[in-house]
Structure 1
């Protein structure tokens, strides 16, 4: 997998941010209740969407290799927070569905492949984030 890069610029007066990746531009904002203007998805919502997009693409590549017709693939990613005596525990749940019928054996194989999505793998393993102020 190639190294990826992104550049983000936050506006002076609000929480509106514009992120640039390759030749693409993505707007981000915070919900109104969090002080933003809600003009686009939040960074967390983009992260959840990235997981869903990656899982669905990973499954499409696998299904095409197996010559399985899954039809449309839907991945709904939910963030769940639970307060415990140890603190806040966050978990993500991927609800995956297919337009076409799949057998139990196919479901088993597809579930294994869903776990191989590079975005989810990045989050599951320890990732070092180094912040540098220039």
Structure 2
């Protein structure tokens, strides 16, 4: 996550999401209903390679993202060896990490005395749908307006927005 990904808005505007006009329009023109807007092009943000094998530990997988090496597995109660976090733990860890980093960046840019951030998360399911609970603890000599603003920023972190919007997943086989 880069600092440019932190949503910035004035008190009367919503989160910024980049240019709203298509590349062929000037900023002062608005498209008519008959004109089609060109959707923004996708750019790669990050990559990961996950490798698992039927030999050895049943559900253990190695995760490589850049220079970083992680492990994921299933708990013993589901046939794994619990050698690493389960996949949903990694998902909510991504949300919590993004939340804490974004809040630190935002407070730093504003010059606010945010000393530390703790994000406690849980994933629950009823078998058909799921939900995530997120509890944020803000340390430091923040006033009520700053605390309220930081909690509002939690709703605009990049991973929060991606999870809420849903993310298209395109699957192909590589040979």
TM-score, with structure 2 as normaliser: 0.69
Q: What is the match of residue 48 of structure 1?
A: 92
Deviation at 1:81, TM superposition (A): 2.4
Return the structure number with greater strand share: 1
Deviation at 1:126, TM superposition (A): 2.8
Q: What is the match of residue 67 of structure 1?
A: 111
Q: What is the match of residue 114 of structure 1?
A: 154
Return the structure number with greater helix share: 1
After superposition, what is the alpha-carbon deviation per residue over 1:24-48, rounded to whole angstroms, capped at 9, x for unaligned?
1110110000100001111110111
After superposition, what is the alpha-carbon deviation per residue over 1:53-107, rounded to whole angstroms, capped at 9, x for unaligned?
1000000001001111121210011112246xxxx23111110002224322112
Compare CA radii of gyration and give the structure with the larger one. 2
Deviation at 1:6, TM superposition (A): 0.8
Alpha carbons 1:58, 1:116 under 8 Å: kept:
no
Q: What is the match of residue 97 of structure 1?
A: 137
Distance, in Å, in 1 between the alignment partners of 2:110 and 2:63 is 36
- How many residue pairs match? The answer is 130
SS at match of 2:113: coil
Match of 2:121 among 53, 74, 77: 77
TM-score, with structure 1 as normaliser: 0.89
Match of 1:11 among 12, 33, 53: 53
SS at match of 1:108: helix
Moved beyond 3 Å, runs of 4+: none
Where structure 1 has 5 or more consecutive residues not aligned to the other structure, the ranges are: none
CA RMSD of aligned residues (A): 1.5
Deviation at 1:11, TM superposition (A): 2.3
SS at match of 1:26: strand
